[in-house]
Chains A and B, each alone.
Chain A
Amino acid sequence: MSPGAAITRRGFLAGAAAIAAAGLPRSEPLRGGSPEPPRQGIAQGPENGARAAGQETRRAMSAPPGKSRVVVIRHESLAAEGQGPTPERVRDLLDEAARALAGDAKAADAWARWLKPSDRLGIKVNCLGYPTRPAVGLAIAAAAGAAGLAPERMIIWDRTTDELRRAGYEPRGSGSGVRCFGTDALAQRGSGGYGPEILTSGAIGSLYSRIVADEATALVSACILKDHNLAGLTCAMKNFYGAIHNPNKYHDNGCDPFVADACAHPLIRDRLRLVVCDALRPQYHGGPAHRSQWQWPYGGLIVSTDPVALDRVALEILARKRAAAGAKPLEAENRPVRYLASAQSRGLGTADLAGIEVLSIGKPWNEI
């Protein structure tokens, strides 16, 4: 689906609520029916990290000890222009990635590692400029539904309902199915939909969205991979600038350490279960606005429980594309991505590629 295209109510219901409630049969297996597509790891360690019995750490569920795992699944159907892939198609690939990430044979088992039926899930999409595609948000909801979450316990959200609508989501505040609304929809509770108290985390002092503070017990960062004119990169972590009321105050110094501090607050840190990155057609320059001339058909989804590692891999993809396209490195434009090191220093994840195991499903992740 193109970013600007509106999804219909029927499509929304079909894509999320109905799927989540009833589950959908799998469509054709990835890569022409290959049950076990080849995976490529760039880091040391086993190609297919075996699930360690009883291992329930949030980072790198089944990655080698000390490493964070990031799964990149690519398929040409994800890169199509125009309508783009359906939520069902995205979900198939997402489940494949989830299995690889968790080392489980069944996708439902993988999702059950991250989400419980009693959770209230907030799927944080990024609707600013070039947005996370609705198909991705809906696919996450559908997959979570298969893990036992009732659709009514899920919210697809961002800062404002208007932004969601413009990004192609269909806002729904109540009724059956997955809800979808902005923080501003909770403004009747006061403070514009944000919590009443300033919460301090490192260098930031912010009100956090009531969707995070009051509604959700679990979060998925449903981000999009794109360039940012000040931060260098906006992806898994910077997505949560949409959870605080004053992100405009925290763009100095390439958003460092502010992005890390925003994510280090327990409201985010303790709730974040998974990152699913829309890398269908990433944008390597000119972000965060929509600039189609700098987008390319990467055709990927990137999935990890480690937001820092995912951002590091995402940055590497952008850097390689910039080099291939003849664009200056971010450092040469005085906008290196500084906040990754700060995030690692705060224990949010792994910022060093050497500490990250990247599993490719389909086309190798680093083949731009």
Chain B
Amino acid sequence: MSDSDNSEPEPAAEAAGYFCFSRRAFLRAAGAGACAACAGRLGDAAAQAEAPRPQTAVHDAMWYERLPDKAVRCQLCPRECIVADVERGYCGVRENRGGDYKTLVYGALCTLNIDPIEKKPLFHYVPGTTALSVATAGCNMECKFCQNWNVSQYRPEQVESNLVPPENLVRIAVTRKCPTIAYTYTEPVVFAEYVHDTAAEGRKQNVGSVMISNGYIREPALRDLCRHLTAVKVDLKAFTEKFYAEQCAGKLAPVLATLEVLKDIGIHTEIVVLIIPTLNDSAEEITSMAKWLVSHVGPDVPVHFSRFHPIYRMKNLPPTPVETLDRARKVSMDAGLRYVYVGNVPFHAGESTYCPSCGKVLIKRVGYNVDASGLRAGACRGCGQKIPGVWSQEDALAFKSREKSEPKPPAAP
């Protein structure tokens, strides 16, 4: 799931003047008479034990393969869970029901907020606008430093949620004048069917869709989603397999593959790296990562180095020193990355965008306040340097994913 798009969003959002939905407003806005909330609000155990539970948001899964004995192999993420009848995959939100694989969280939103797009963070994507930000329960990793573990590491029946069908969510975005829907907070890959359908519906209503993801997804599913998405942010949690194995219950290689596929698709992509003291903060590792990004994704991909705060299963480490983030930013830029930011450090100069040619401030950011007056038509107002990004809603909606590139022939000896 996303490290950077911190859930607990209500106070921050309200403080910044952004809107978050109360439970009542959530229900009213969603138009969801059908409440898919989990058990638990009906009073005592007696009442609960005897009350029938409402149906969860069950929907056919899109990416899986049937196996003998009514088992299935999930084809959504690199885990490729083999799931026996009545069991669930690692994510906890996909269940085998008699040989048919189902997602249990289609539209079962546990979070619905309006956030600044910078909070995702997406700094080169229609700056200064808002994103209707949603999540369901579940994740296909288990990061020990997860900021949103109290939804991402839960099963759908363990969190309160409400059914919001795709067309309703798009309607909310239009009504609330949000040009973008962000699938975020937890891990959108695990509710990919909903992302797919909602993003497609959104495009019909001129609403873009951005996925804030750990990038742990198989290529076919990613390509299917990107036919409708308008941007993706990937958490690159470290640059070693050891870190992914020990801290995230995942693997690095599939995430790197995702970044290459995104490059091939051509969709706007930004990357967040949560820097954790002693675990992934060495200059050598950051340099290696930056060099890989330059050579495989390109020097223009925006990279955000975010500050870690102790939480969940990683409370034994201190917050990241700002100097460590500064060093990460410097060595990355030395390695060739052009747009490198510091995150989770308010008022830091590294929040702003600078022209790589003349050094002028293009987009000044202080918290979620944005002044993009240094940018004109996607170029530096001072020297005219073209700045990569998606700078208007029209550009966002104009994006069409490229089909898979043919493998390059081997180079001649």
Contact = CB atoms under 8 A, between A and B. Distances in A.
Interface string B132-169: 00000000001010000110011101110000000000
Contacts of B88: 248
Contacts of B48: 161, 173, 181, 184-188
Contacts of B313: 198, 200, 205
Interface string B293-334: 000000000000000000011000000000000000000000
Given A184-B38, A248-B91, A230 B84 contact: yes
A257 interface: no
Contacts of B38: 184, 187, 192
A188 B41 contact: yes
A229 B155 contact: no
A288 B84 CA distance: 8
A191 interface: yes
10 contacts: A128-B87, A161-B48, A173-B48, A181-B45, A185-B40, A192-B157, A205-B144, A228-B84, A230-B84, A245-B158
Interface of A: 128-129, 160-162, 171-175, 179-182, 184-188, 191-194, 198, 200, 205, 228-230, 245-246, 248-249, 251-252, 286-289, 291
B86 A187 contact: no
Interface in B53-92: 53, 69-71, 82, 84-92
A229 B159 contact: no
A174 B45 CA distance: 7
B137 to A, nearest CB: 10
A249 B210 CA distance: 27
B46 A173 contact: yes
B403 interface: no
Contacts of B157: 160, 184, 192
Chain B, interface size category, equals 35 or more
Given A187-B41, A191-B158, A248-B155, A287 B46 contact: no
Contacts of A172: 46, 49-50
Given A171-B50, A173-B48, A184-B40, 14 more contacts: A160-B53, A161-B49, A162-B53, A184-B38, A193-B39, A198-B149, A229-B87, A246-B154, A248-B89, A286-B69, A286-B84, A288-B87, A289-B86, A291-B69
Contact of A289 (B70, B92, B312): B70
Contacts, number: 127
Contacts of A200: 313
A108 to B, nearest CB: 30
A185 B144 CA distance: 28
A259 B50 CA distance: 31
Interface in B79-137: 82, 84-92
B209 to A, nearest CB: 27
Nearest to A180: B49
B40 A192 contact: yes
B407 interface: no
Most buried by A among B45, B91, B149, B312: B45
Most buried by B among A182, A187, A252, A288: A187
A245 B154 contact: yes
Contacts of A194: 158
A291 to B, nearest CB: 8
Contact of A192 (B46, B86, B158): B158
A193 B40 contact: yes
Given A246-B92, A289-B86, A174 B44 contact: yes
Q: Interface on chain A toward B: helix, strand, loop, or mixed SS? A: mixed
A355 to B, nearest CB: 32
Contact of A173 (B45, B84, B154): B45
Contacts of A129: 85-87
Contact of B49 (A173, A191, A287, A288): A173
Given A174-B44, A185-B45, A200-B313, A289 B85 contact: yes
A146 B320 CA distance: 59
Contacts of A175: 46
B349 interface: no
Nearest to B150: A191
B15 interface: no
Contacts of B40: 184-188, 192-193
B42 interface: yes
B413 interface: no
A175 B45 CA distance: 11
A292 B348 CA distance: 65
B313 to A, nearest CB: 5
Interface in B356-400: none
A228 B82 CA distance: 12
A153 to B, nearest CB: 15
Contacts of B46: 172-175
B47 interface: yes
Contacts of A251: 90
A245 B155 contact: yes
A355 B69 CA distance: 36
Contact of A171 (B44, B49, B69, B87): B49
A200 B69 CA distance: 35
Nearest to A128: B86
B33 interface: no
A148 B347 CA distance: 66
Contacts of A229: 71, 82, 84, 87
A289 B96 CA distance: 10
B409 interface: no
B150 to A, nearest CB: 8
Nearest to A194: B158
A161 B39 contact: yes
